[in-house]
Amino acid sequence: MAYSSSWSRALVQISPYTFSAIGIAVAIGISVLGAAWGIYITGSSLIGAAIKAPRITSKNLISVIFCEAVAIYGVIVAIILQTKLESVPASQIYAAESLRAGYSIFASGLIVGFANLVCGLCVGIIGSSCALSDAQNSSLFVKILVIEIFGSALGLFGVIVGIIMSAQATWPTKAA
Amino acid sequence: MYGFEAMSFNIHGGYLEAIVRGYRSGLLTAADYNNLCQCETLDDIKMHLSATEYGPYLQNEPSPLHTTTIVEKCTLKLVDEYKHMLTQATEPMSTFLEYCTYGHMIDNVVLIVTGTLHERDVQELLEKCHPLGMFDSIATLAVAQNMRELYRLVLVDTPLAPYFSECITSEDLDDMNIEIMRNTLYKAYLEDFYRFCQKLGGATAEIMSDLLAFEADRRAVNITINSIGTELTRDDRRKLYSNFGLLCPYGHEELALCEDLDQVRGVVEKYPPYQSIFSKLSYGESQMLDKAFYEEEVKRLCLSYEQQFHYAVFFAYIRLKEQEIRNLMWISECVAQNQKSRVHDSVVFIF
Protein backbone atom coordinates (compact mmCIF):
# COMPACT_ATOMS: atom_id res chain seq x y z
CA MET A 1 0.00 0.00 0.00
CA ALA A 2 1.22 3.57 -0.59
CA TYR A 3 2.87 5.74 2.05
CA SER A 4 0.52 7.72 4.17
CA SER A 5 1.47 11.10 2.63
CA SER A 6 1.72 10.23 -1.07
CA TRP A 7 -0.38 11.79 -3.82
CA SER A 8 -2.01 8.55 -4.79
CA ARG A 9 -3.33 8.18 -1.24
CA ALA A 10 -4.60 11.75 -1.32
CA LEU A 11 -6.40 11.28 -4.61
CA VAL A 12 -8.33 8.25 -3.50
CA GLN A 13 -9.43 10.08 -0.37
CA ILE A 14 -11.25 12.73 -2.40
CA SER A 15 -14.91 11.96 -2.42
CA PRO A 16 -16.32 10.62 -5.70
CA TYR A 17 -19.16 13.09 -5.28
CA THR A 18 -16.62 15.91 -5.68
CA PHE A 19 -15.37 14.47 -8.91
CA SER A 20 -18.89 13.96 -10.23
CA ALA A 21 -19.99 17.46 -9.36
CA ILE A 22 -16.94 19.00 -10.99
CA GLY A 23 -17.56 16.86 -14.05
CA ILE A 24 -21.10 18.10 -14.37
CA ALA A 25 -20.02 21.73 -13.88
CA VAL A 26 -17.33 21.43 -16.53
CA ALA A 27 -19.74 19.80 -18.95
CA ILE A 28 -22.12 22.72 -19.01
CA GLY A 29 -19.77 25.57 -18.14
CA ILE A 30 -17.05 24.97 -20.69
CA SER A 31 -19.52 24.02 -23.42
CA VAL A 32 -21.27 27.34 -22.98
CA LEU A 33 -17.90 29.10 -23.04
CA GLY A 34 -17.15 27.48 -26.38
CA ALA A 35 -20.55 28.38 -27.77
CA ALA A 36 -20.30 32.00 -26.64
CA TRP A 37 -16.81 32.36 -28.04
CA GLY A 38 -17.93 31.02 -31.41
CA ILE A 39 -21.04 33.19 -31.51
CA TYR A 40 -19.20 36.45 -30.90
CA ILE A 41 -16.52 35.63 -33.46
CA THR A 42 -19.15 34.93 -36.11
CA GLY A 43 -21.56 37.63 -35.04
CA SER A 44 -19.18 40.59 -35.21
CA SER A 45 -18.03 39.70 -38.73
CA LEU A 46 -21.57 38.98 -39.85
CA ILE A 47 -22.89 42.34 -38.67
CA GLY A 48 -20.09 44.28 -40.35
CA ALA A 49 -20.33 42.38 -43.61
CA ALA A 50 -24.10 42.69 -43.76
CA ILE A 51 -23.89 46.46 -44.05
CA LYS A 52 -22.61 46.26 -47.60
CA ALA A 53 -24.34 42.98 -48.47
CA PRO A 54 -27.63 42.70 -46.58
CA ARG A 55 -28.60 39.50 -48.36
CA ILE A 56 -26.18 37.41 -46.31
CA THR A 57 -27.86 37.85 -42.95
CA SER A 58 -30.51 35.15 -43.08
CA LYS A 59 -28.32 32.44 -44.58
CA ASN A 60 -25.40 33.06 -42.28
CA LEU A 61 -27.45 32.69 -39.16
CA ILE A 62 -26.82 28.99 -39.70
CA SER A 63 -23.30 29.50 -38.40
CA VAL A 64 -24.69 31.00 -35.22
CA ILE A 65 -27.10 28.09 -34.89
CA PHE A 66 -24.25 25.58 -35.20
CA CYS A 67 -22.44 27.35 -32.38
CA GLU A 68 -25.58 27.38 -30.29
CA ALA A 69 -25.99 23.64 -30.80
CA VAL A 70 -22.77 23.17 -28.93
CA ALA A 71 -24.24 24.77 -25.83
CA ILE A 72 -27.31 22.58 -26.13
CA TYR A 73 -25.12 19.47 -26.20
CA GLY A 74 -23.55 20.65 -22.97
CA VAL A 75 -26.94 21.14 -21.32
CA ILE A 76 -28.18 17.73 -22.41
CA VAL A 77 -25.12 15.93 -21.15
CA ALA A 78 -25.14 17.82 -17.85
CA ILE A 79 -28.75 16.78 -17.30
CA ILE A 80 -27.96 13.17 -18.15
CA LEU A 81 -24.96 13.17 -15.83
CA GLN A 82 -26.82 14.56 -12.91
CA THR A 83 -29.35 11.74 -13.15
CA LYS A 84 -26.46 9.32 -12.76
CA LEU A 85 -25.56 10.71 -9.34
CA GLU A 86 -26.86 8.39 -6.65
CA SER A 87 -26.37 8.36 -2.93
CA VAL A 88 -24.38 5.51 -1.46
CA PRO A 89 -24.14 4.55 2.21
CA ALA A 90 -21.29 6.18 4.09
CA SER A 91 -19.34 2.95 4.34
CA GLN A 92 -19.32 2.58 0.56
CA ILE A 93 -18.18 6.08 -0.39
CA TYR A 94 -14.56 5.10 -0.85
CA ALA A 95 -15.21 1.63 -2.21
CA ALA A 96 -13.67 0.89 -5.58
CA GLU A 97 -17.03 0.83 -7.32
CA SER A 98 -17.96 4.28 -6.04
CA LEU A 99 -14.64 5.75 -7.07
CA ARG A 100 -15.09 4.26 -10.52
CA ALA A 101 -18.52 5.82 -10.89
CA GLY A 102 -17.25 9.18 -9.69
CA TYR A 103 -14.31 9.14 -12.05
CA SER A 104 -16.41 8.16 -15.04
CA ILE A 105 -18.85 11.00 -14.48
CA PHE A 106 -15.91 13.40 -14.09
CA ALA A 107 -14.29 12.15 -17.27
CA SER A 108 -17.54 12.32 -19.16
CA GLY A 109 -17.98 15.93 -18.12
CA LEU A 110 -14.43 16.83 -19.15
CA ILE A 111 -14.80 15.12 -22.51
CA VAL A 112 -17.99 16.90 -23.37
CA GLY A 113 -16.87 20.26 -22.02
CA PHE A 114 -13.58 20.49 -23.86
CA ALA A 115 -14.81 18.90 -27.07
CA ASN A 116 -17.57 21.49 -27.19
CA LEU A 117 -15.13 24.29 -26.36
CA VAL A 118 -12.94 23.62 -29.38
CA CYS A 119 -15.92 22.80 -31.56
CA GLY A 120 -17.57 26.13 -30.75
CA LEU A 121 -14.33 27.96 -31.45
CA CYS A 122 -13.84 26.13 -34.74
CA VAL A 123 -17.36 26.74 -35.99
CA GLY A 124 -17.15 30.38 -34.93
CA ILE A 125 -13.97 31.10 -36.86
CA ILE A 126 -15.24 29.30 -39.96
CA GLY A 127 -18.55 31.12 -39.66
CA SER A 128 -16.76 34.47 -39.62
CA SER A 129 -14.82 33.62 -42.77
CA CYS A 130 -18.01 32.26 -44.33
CA ALA A 131 -19.86 35.55 -43.75
CA LEU A 132 -17.03 37.60 -45.23
CA SER A 133 -16.69 35.37 -48.30
CA ASP A 134 -20.41 35.19 -48.87
CA ALA A 135 -20.54 38.99 -48.88
CA GLN A 136 -18.05 39.05 -51.76
CA ASN A 137 -19.20 36.03 -53.75
CA SER A 138 -22.45 34.27 -52.93
CA SER A 139 -21.50 30.97 -54.54
CA LEU A 140 -19.00 30.34 -51.76
CA PHE A 141 -21.54 30.02 -48.99
CA VAL A 142 -22.56 26.41 -49.51
CA LYS A 143 -18.99 25.24 -49.95
CA ILE A 144 -17.82 26.79 -46.71
CA LEU A 145 -20.91 25.48 -44.96
CA VAL A 146 -19.65 21.95 -45.66
CA ILE A 147 -16.49 22.77 -43.72
CA GLU A 148 -18.60 24.04 -40.87
CA ILE A 149 -20.62 20.85 -40.79
CA PHE A 150 -17.45 18.82 -40.42
CA GLY A 151 -16.40 21.16 -37.63
CA SER A 152 -19.62 20.77 -35.75
CA ALA A 153 -19.27 17.00 -35.90
CA LEU A 154 -16.45 17.37 -33.38
CA GLY A 155 -18.86 18.37 -30.66
CA LEU A 156 -21.05 15.43 -31.53
CA PHE A 157 -18.13 13.02 -31.11
CA GLY A 158 -17.55 14.43 -27.65
CA VAL A 159 -21.18 13.99 -26.69
CA ILE A 160 -21.29 10.40 -27.91
CA VAL A 161 -18.19 9.34 -26.02
CA GLY A 162 -19.28 11.24 -22.95
CA ILE A 163 -22.64 9.48 -22.86
CA ILE A 164 -21.00 6.09 -23.33
CA MET A 165 -18.60 6.84 -20.48
CA SER A 166 -21.36 7.86 -18.14
CA ALA A 167 -23.61 4.94 -19.06
CA GLN A 168 -21.51 2.57 -17.06
CA ALA A 169 -21.28 4.79 -14.00
CA THR A 170 -22.92 2.35 -11.61
CA TRP A 171 -22.73 3.13 -7.91
CA PRO A 172 -22.57 0.21 -5.48
CA THR A 173 -25.94 -0.88 -4.09
CA LYS A 174 -26.80 -0.88 -0.40
CA ALA A 175 -25.83 -4.46 0.17
CA ALA A 176 -22.31 -4.29 1.49
CA MET B 1 1.00 34.70 -30.61
CA TYR B 2 1.10 34.16 -34.35
CA GLY B 3 -1.56 31.78 -35.49
CA PHE B 4 -4.02 32.39 -32.69
CA GLU B 5 -5.27 35.82 -33.66
CA ALA B 6 -8.55 34.26 -34.70
CA MET B 7 -9.48 33.65 -31.09
CA SER B 8 -9.43 37.24 -29.89
CA PHE B 9 -9.20 39.61 -32.86
CA ASN B 10 -12.94 39.85 -33.39
CA ILE B 11 -13.58 41.27 -29.95
CA HIS B 12 -12.34 44.69 -31.02
CA GLY B 13 -11.60 44.40 -34.70
CA GLY B 14 -14.15 42.01 -36.17
CA TYR B 15 -16.78 44.56 -37.09
CA LEU B 16 -14.36 47.03 -38.65
CA GLU B 17 -12.54 44.31 -40.58
CA ALA B 18 -15.85 43.25 -42.10
CA ILE B 19 -16.60 46.89 -42.94
CA VAL B 20 -13.28 47.45 -44.66
CA ARG B 21 -13.74 44.28 -46.69
CA GLY B 22 -17.12 45.65 -47.74
CA TYR B 23 -15.44 48.89 -48.85
CA ARG B 24 -12.88 46.91 -50.80
CA SER B 25 -15.60 45.15 -52.75
CA GLY B 26 -16.70 48.58 -53.91
CA LEU B 27 -13.41 49.39 -55.64
CA LEU B 28 -13.63 49.87 -59.40
CA THR B 29 -13.01 46.75 -61.49
CA ALA B 30 -11.31 46.34 -64.85
CA ALA B 31 -14.70 46.51 -66.55
CA ASP B 32 -15.39 49.88 -64.93
CA TYR B 33 -12.01 51.18 -66.03
CA ASN B 34 -12.63 50.00 -69.58
CA ASN B 35 -15.92 51.90 -69.63
CA LEU B 36 -14.26 54.99 -68.26
CA CYS B 37 -11.40 54.82 -70.73
CA GLN B 38 -13.87 54.94 -73.57
CA CYS B 39 -15.54 58.15 -72.40
CA GLU B 40 -15.39 61.17 -74.63
CA THR B 41 -16.01 63.96 -72.15
CA LEU B 42 -15.85 64.52 -68.43
CA ASP B 43 -19.62 64.41 -68.26
CA ASP B 44 -19.51 60.84 -69.58
CA ILE B 45 -17.08 60.01 -66.82
CA LYS B 46 -19.44 61.52 -64.29
CA MET B 47 -22.29 59.43 -65.69
CA HIS B 48 -20.29 56.22 -65.46
CA LEU B 49 -19.10 57.00 -61.98
CA SER B 50 -22.61 57.69 -60.77
CA ALA B 51 -23.37 54.02 -61.35
CA THR B 52 -20.56 53.03 -59.01
CA GLU B 53 -20.03 53.77 -55.34
CA TYR B 54 -19.08 57.36 -56.17
CA GLY B 55 -22.61 58.22 -57.22
CA PRO B 56 -23.74 60.23 -54.19
CA TYR B 57 -20.54 62.27 -54.22
CA LEU B 58 -20.66 63.40 -57.81
CA GLN B 59 -24.32 63.79 -58.57
CA ASN B 60 -24.61 67.35 -57.33
CA GLU B 61 -21.70 68.73 -59.27
CA PRO B 62 -22.70 71.20 -61.94
CA SER B 63 -21.40 70.90 -65.47
CA PRO B 64 -18.85 71.77 -66.76
CA LEU B 65 -16.75 69.51 -64.57
CA HIS B 66 -13.06 69.91 -63.92
CA THR B 67 -10.69 67.05 -63.27
CA THR B 68 -9.78 68.56 -59.94
CA THR B 69 -13.42 68.43 -58.86
CA ILE B 70 -13.68 64.76 -59.69
CA VAL B 71 -10.51 63.97 -57.79
CA GLU B 72 -11.58 66.09 -54.86
CA LYS B 73 -14.93 64.37 -54.51
CA CYS B 74 -13.42 60.92 -54.80
CA THR B 75 -10.88 61.81 -52.14
CA LEU B 76 -13.74 63.02 -49.99
CA LYS B 77 -15.23 59.54 -50.17
CA LEU B 78 -11.98 58.04 -48.94
CA VAL B 79 -11.84 60.54 -46.10
CA ASP B 80 -15.42 59.79 -45.05
CA GLU B 81 -14.75 56.06 -44.98
CA TYR B 82 -11.52 56.55 -43.07
CA LYS B 83 -13.16 58.75 -40.47
CA HIS B 84 -16.01 56.27 -40.10
CA MET B 85 -13.50 53.56 -39.28
CA LEU B 86 -11.34 55.74 -37.06
CA THR B 87 -14.21 56.81 -34.84
CA GLN B 88 -15.22 53.21 -34.21
CA ALA B 89 -11.72 51.86 -33.60
CA THR B 90 -10.20 51.15 -30.20
CA GLU B 91 -6.56 50.90 -29.27
CA PRO B 92 -4.32 49.68 -30.84
CA MET B 93 -6.26 49.85 -34.07
CA SER B 94 -6.89 53.57 -33.77
CA THR B 95 -3.16 54.24 -33.44
CA PHE B 96 -2.57 52.01 -36.45
CA LEU B 97 -5.13 53.91 -38.52
CA GLU B 98 -3.56 57.21 -37.53
CA TYR B 99 -0.13 55.95 -38.55
CA CYS B 100 -1.51 55.31 -42.02
CA THR B 101 -2.06 59.05 -42.52
CA TYR B 102 1.21 60.49 -41.27
CA GLY B 103 2.67 60.19 -44.75
CA HIS B 104 0.04 62.64 -45.99
CA MET B 105 0.76 64.94 -43.09
CA ILE B 106 4.40 65.08 -44.11
CA ASP B 107 3.40 65.81 -47.71
CA ASN B 108 1.10 68.61 -46.58
CA VAL B 109 3.79 70.20 -44.41
CA VAL B 110 6.25 70.16 -47.31
CA LEU B 111 3.61 71.50 -49.69
CA ILE B 112 2.88 74.51 -47.51
CA VAL B 113 6.51 75.26 -46.79
CA THR B 114 7.48 75.03 -50.45
CA GLY B 115 4.52 77.11 -51.49
CA THR B 116 5.35 79.81 -48.99
CA LEU B 117 8.90 79.84 -50.26
CA HIS B 118 7.58 80.55 -53.73
CA GLU B 119 5.28 83.27 -52.41
CA ARG B 120 1.96 81.54 -52.89
CA ASP B 121 -1.13 82.40 -50.95
CA VAL B 122 -1.69 80.27 -47.86
CA GLN B 123 -5.39 79.71 -48.50
CA GLU B 124 -4.66 78.42 -51.98
CA LEU B 125 -2.12 76.01 -50.59
CA LEU B 126 -4.48 74.81 -47.88
CA GLU B 127 -6.98 73.86 -50.52
CA LYS B 128 -4.40 71.71 -52.24
CA CYS B 129 -3.52 69.80 -49.10
CA HIS B 130 -4.59 66.21 -48.81
CA PRO B 131 -7.54 66.05 -46.38
CA LEU B 132 -6.29 62.92 -44.64
CA GLY B 133 -3.19 64.73 -43.50
CA MET B 134 -4.73 67.86 -42.07
CA PHE B 135 -4.15 68.93 -38.53
CA ASP B 136 -4.94 72.08 -36.56
CA SER B 137 -2.50 74.94 -36.83
CA ILE B 138 -1.35 73.78 -40.25
CA ALA B 139 -1.81 77.29 -41.58
CA THR B 140 0.82 78.58 -39.16
CA LEU B 141 3.47 76.76 -41.16
CA ALA B 142 3.55 79.67 -43.56
CA VAL B 143 5.14 81.88 -40.91
CA ALA B 144 8.27 79.83 -40.26
CA GLN B 145 11.61 80.88 -41.72
CA ASN B 146 13.82 77.90 -40.89
CA MET B 147 13.40 74.41 -39.61
CA ARG B 148 13.98 75.22 -36.00
CA GLU B 149 11.11 77.72 -36.04
CA LEU B 150 9.00 75.29 -38.00
CA TYR B 151 9.44 72.76 -35.25
CA ARG B 152 9.06 75.11 -32.34
CA LEU B 153 5.99 76.93 -33.61
CA VAL B 154 3.90 74.24 -35.18
CA LEU B 155 5.20 70.73 -35.37
CA VAL B 156 5.98 70.07 -31.75
CA ASP B 157 2.27 69.59 -31.08
CA THR B 158 1.66 67.23 -33.95
CA PRO B 159 2.30 63.50 -34.17
CA LEU B 160 5.24 64.33 -36.45
CA ALA B 161 7.27 65.81 -33.59
CA PRO B 162 9.44 62.74 -32.86
CA TYR B 163 10.49 62.52 -36.50
CA PHE B 164 12.13 65.93 -36.43
CA SER B 165 15.04 65.15 -34.19
CA GLU B 166 17.26 64.29 -37.11
CA CYS B 167 16.59 67.27 -39.28
CA ILE B 168 16.46 70.35 -37.12
CA THR B 169 19.01 72.78 -38.40
CA SER B 170 19.10 76.52 -38.42
CA GLU B 171 19.64 76.74 -42.14
CA ASP B 172 17.12 78.64 -44.11
CA LEU B 173 14.64 76.60 -46.06
CA ASP B 174 15.30 76.27 -49.76
CA ASP B 175 14.20 73.72 -52.33
CA MET B 176 17.02 71.28 -51.73
CA ASN B 177 16.74 71.38 -47.98
CA ILE B 178 13.00 70.91 -48.15
CA GLU B 179 13.34 67.79 -50.24
CA ILE B 180 15.93 66.43 -47.86
CA MET B 181 13.64 67.30 -44.96
CA ARG B 182 10.74 65.48 -46.62
CA ASN B 183 12.79 62.37 -47.14
CA THR B 184 14.29 62.42 -43.67
CA LEU B 185 10.86 62.78 -42.11
CA TYR B 186 9.46 60.00 -44.24
CA LYS B 187 12.35 57.74 -43.32
CA ALA B 188 11.75 58.35 -39.60
CA TYR B 189 8.02 57.77 -40.08
CA LEU B 190 8.53 54.47 -41.90
CA GLU B 191 10.90 53.20 -39.26
CA ASP B 192 8.53 54.22 -36.48
CA PHE B 193 5.60 52.54 -38.21
CA TYR B 194 7.71 49.41 -38.72
CA ARG B 195 8.61 49.28 -35.03
CA PHE B 196 4.98 49.78 -34.06
CA CYS B 197 3.86 46.90 -36.25
CA GLN B 198 6.59 44.66 -34.86
CA LYS B 199 5.30 45.45 -31.40
CA LEU B 200 1.77 44.45 -32.39
CA GLY B 201 3.10 41.05 -33.41
CA GLY B 202 1.29 38.20 -35.10
CA ALA B 203 -0.11 38.37 -38.60
CA THR B 204 -0.16 42.19 -38.57
CA ALA B 205 3.60 42.30 -37.98
CA GLU B 206 4.37 39.81 -40.71
CA ILE B 207 2.20 41.33 -43.42
CA MET B 208 2.94 44.95 -42.58
CA SER B 209 6.67 44.24 -42.48
CA ASP B 210 6.44 42.99 -46.02
CA LEU B 211 4.41 45.99 -47.21
CA LEU B 212 6.56 48.55 -45.40
CA ALA B 213 9.79 46.92 -46.58
CA PHE B 214 8.58 47.25 -50.16
CA GLU B 215 7.72 50.89 -49.51
CA ALA B 216 11.17 51.54 -48.02
CA ASP B 217 12.92 49.84 -50.94
CA ARG B 218 10.82 51.70 -53.47
CA ARG B 219 11.68 55.01 -51.84
CA ALA B 220 15.36 54.10 -51.80
CA VAL B 221 15.30 53.42 -55.53
CA ASN B 222 13.35 56.63 -56.23
CA ILE B 223 15.69 58.72 -54.09
CA THR B 224 18.64 57.24 -55.95
CA ILE B 225 17.18 57.89 -59.38
CA ASN B 226 16.02 61.41 -58.53
CA SER B 227 19.34 62.41 -57.05
CA ILE B 228 21.48 61.26 -59.96
CA GLY B 229 23.07 64.36 -61.36
CA THR B 230 22.13 66.66 -58.48
CA GLU B 231 24.46 68.01 -55.85
CA LEU B 232 23.37 65.50 -53.25
CA THR B 233 26.49 63.74 -52.00
CA ARG B 234 26.72 59.99 -51.64
CA ASP B 235 26.80 60.20 -47.86
CA ASP B 236 23.72 62.39 -47.80
CA ARG B 237 22.01 59.94 -50.08
CA ARG B 238 22.88 57.04 -47.79
CA LYS B 239 21.44 58.90 -44.84
CA LEU B 240 18.06 59.04 -46.51
CA TYR B 241 17.68 55.28 -46.89
CA SER B 242 15.63 53.46 -44.22
CA ASN B 243 17.25 50.91 -41.95
CA PHE B 244 15.00 47.99 -42.86
CA GLY B 245 13.84 46.29 -46.01
CA LEU B 246 15.29 43.80 -48.44
CA LEU B 247 17.83 46.24 -49.81
CA CYS B 248 19.32 47.09 -46.43
CA PRO B 249 22.30 47.11 -45.87
CA TYR B 250 24.14 45.69 -48.87
CA GLY B 251 21.77 47.03 -51.49
CA HIS B 252 22.01 50.50 -49.98
CA GLU B 253 25.81 50.41 -50.21
CA GLU B 254 25.58 49.70 -53.89
CA LEU B 255 22.73 52.12 -54.56
CA ALA B 256 24.65 54.95 -52.97
CA LEU B 257 27.32 54.51 -55.65
CA CYS B 258 24.98 54.42 -58.63
CA GLU B 259 25.25 57.13 -61.23
CA ASP B 260 22.69 56.08 -63.82
CA LEU B 261 19.58 54.01 -64.26
CA ASP B 262 21.28 50.91 -65.61
CA GLN B 263 23.47 50.65 -62.54
CA VAL B 264 20.37 50.92 -60.37
CA ARG B 265 18.78 48.16 -62.40
CA GLY B 266 21.86 46.01 -61.88
CA VAL B 267 21.67 46.46 -58.13
CA VAL B 268 17.96 45.83 -57.76
CA GLU B 269 17.85 42.82 -60.05
CA LYS B 270 19.98 40.88 -57.62
CA TYR B 271 16.93 40.61 -55.37
CA PRO B 272 14.48 38.04 -56.77
CA PRO B 273 11.26 39.65 -55.51
CA TYR B 274 12.09 42.83 -57.42
CA GLN B 275 13.23 41.28 -60.67
CA SER B 276 9.76 41.44 -62.14
CA ILE B 277 9.70 45.22 -61.78
CA PHE B 278 12.68 45.97 -63.96
CA SER B 279 12.02 43.17 -66.40
CA LYS B 280 9.08 45.16 -67.75
CA LEU B 281 11.32 48.05 -68.74
CA SER B 282 13.72 47.97 -71.61
CA TYR B 283 17.17 49.38 -71.08
CA GLY B 284 17.44 53.11 -70.63
CA GLU B 285 13.72 53.74 -70.13
CA SER B 286 12.56 55.29 -66.90
CA GLN B 287 9.04 56.59 -67.47
CA MET B 288 7.39 53.26 -66.88
CA LEU B 289 9.24 52.64 -63.64
CA ASP B 290 6.58 54.38 -61.57
CA LYS B 291 3.86 52.30 -63.12
CA ALA B 292 5.85 49.08 -62.59
CA PHE B 293 6.29 49.94 -58.93
CA TYR B 294 2.59 50.73 -58.56
CA GLU B 295 1.64 47.43 -60.14
CA GLU B 296 3.87 45.51 -57.79
CA GLU B 297 2.50 47.42 -54.82
CA VAL B 298 -1.10 46.76 -55.83
CA LYS B 299 -0.33 43.07 -56.19
CA ARG B 300 1.06 42.91 -52.66
CA LEU B 301 -1.77 44.97 -51.20
CA CYS B 302 -4.37 42.65 -52.72
CA LEU B 303 -2.56 39.66 -51.28
CA SER B 304 -2.98 41.02 -47.79
CA TYR B 305 -6.72 40.38 -48.08
CA GLU B 306 -6.09 36.65 -48.32
CA GLN B 307 -5.60 36.46 -44.57
CA GLN B 308 -8.11 37.36 -41.91
CA PHE B 309 -7.76 38.84 -38.41
CA HIS B 310 -5.02 41.43 -38.91
CA TYR B 311 -4.75 45.18 -39.37
CA ALA B 312 -2.91 45.28 -42.68
CA VAL B 313 -6.23 45.16 -44.56
CA PHE B 314 -6.89 48.72 -43.39
CA PHE B 315 -3.54 49.99 -44.61
CA ALA B 316 -4.05 48.12 -47.87
CA TYR B 317 -7.49 49.60 -48.38
CA ILE B 318 -6.27 53.17 -47.95
CA ARG B 319 -3.44 52.55 -50.41
CA LEU B 320 -5.67 50.82 -52.95
CA LYS B 321 -8.17 53.66 -52.78
CA GLU B 322 -5.41 56.17 -53.38
CA GLN B 323 -4.31 54.15 -56.40
CA GLU B 324 -7.87 54.21 -57.68
CA ILE B 325 -8.00 57.99 -57.27
CA ARG B 326 -4.71 58.27 -59.17
CA ASN B 327 -6.21 56.14 -61.93
CA LEU B 328 -9.31 58.33 -62.08
CA MET B 329 -7.18 61.45 -62.20
CA TRP B 330 -5.11 60.07 -65.07
CA ILE B 331 -8.17 58.98 -67.03
CA SER B 332 -9.90 62.34 -66.47
CA GLU B 333 -6.83 64.26 -67.56
CA CYS B 334 -6.43 62.14 -70.69
CA VAL B 335 -10.08 62.60 -71.59
CA ALA B 336 -10.02 66.33 -70.86
CA GLN B 337 -6.94 66.85 -73.01
CA ASN B 338 -8.08 64.54 -75.78
CA GLN B 339 -5.15 62.18 -75.42
CA LYS B 340 -7.11 58.98 -75.13
CA SER B 341 -4.37 56.93 -76.75
CA ARG B 342 -2.23 57.42 -73.68
CA VAL B 343 -4.91 56.43 -71.24
CA HIS B 344 -3.58 52.94 -70.65
CA ASP B 345 -0.07 54.18 -69.96
CA SER B 346 -0.66 54.77 -66.34
CA VAL B 347 -3.80 53.00 -65.21
CA VAL B 348 -3.15 50.14 -62.81
CA PHE B 349 -6.00 47.70 -62.60
CA ILE B 350 -6.74 46.53 -59.11
CA PHE B 351 -8.94 43.54 -59.89
DSSP for B56-114, please give it. Answer: HHHTTPPSSP-HHHHHHHHHHHHHHHHHHHHHH--TTHHHHHHHTTHHHHHHHHHHHHH
B104 neighbors B159 (Cβ within 8 angstroms): no
Mean pLDDT, consecutive 10-residue stretches, chain B (351 aa), reads 87 95 93 89 89 87 84 93 95 94 92 86 88 85 77 83 74 76 92 95 94 94 88 86 88 87 88 86 72 92 94 96 93 89 83 78
Given this model, what pLDDT does residue A174 score? Answer: 67
Cβ atoms of B207 and B304 closer than 8 Å: yes
**Record: contact B308-A132, CB cut-off 8 A:** yes
Q: Are A119 and A151 in contact (CB under 8 A)?
A: yes
Cross-chain Cβ contact B18/A41 below 8 Å = no
Q: How far apart are CA B302 and CA B351, in angstroms?
A: 9
Pairwise CA distance, residues B129 & B107, whole Å: 8
Per-residue pLDDT, A23: 96
Q: What residues in A contact B6, CB-CB < 8 Å?
A: 41, 125, 128
pLDDT band at A106 (very low <50, low <70, confident <90, very high): very high
Tell me what pLDDT residue A38 has.
97
Q: What angle separates helix A96-136 from helix A140-167, to the nearest 10 degrees?
A: 180
* Chain A nearest C-alpha distance from B351 (Å): 13
Q: What is the DSSP string of B244-265?
A: -STTTTHHHHHHHT--SHHHHH
Q: Which of B6, B11, B14 sits opposite A48 (nearest CB)?
A: B14
ipTM: 0.89
- Partners of A44 on chain B (C-beta within 8 Å) are 10-11, 14-15, 18
Chain B interface test: which of A44, A64, A125, A136 (most B C-beta within 10 Å): A44
Task: Give B-chain residues touching A131 at CB under 8 angstroms.
Answer: 18
Question: Band of the pLDDT at A1, cuts 50, 70, 90?
Answer: low
Coil, helix or strand at residue B171:
coil
Specify which residues B55 forms β-bridges with: none
Q: At what angle do helices B42-49 and B312-336 cross, to 10 degrees?
A: 150
Phi, psi of B50, rounded to the nearest 5 degrees? -70, -15
Q: Do A41 and B14 touch (CB under 8 A)?
A: yes
The answer to whether the Cβ–Cβ distance between A128 and B14 falls below 8 Å is yes
Question: Which pTM was predicted?
Answer: 0.92
Q: How far apart, in whole angstroms, are the C-alpha atoms of residue B154 and residue B182?
A: 16
In this structure, the dihedral spanned by the alpha carbons of residues A14, A18, A20 and A22, taken in order and rounded to 10 degrees, is -120
pLDDT for the residue A140: 94
The DSSP symbol for B146 reads B
pLDDT exceeds cutoff 80 at A149? yes
A64 inside 8 A of chain B by CB: no
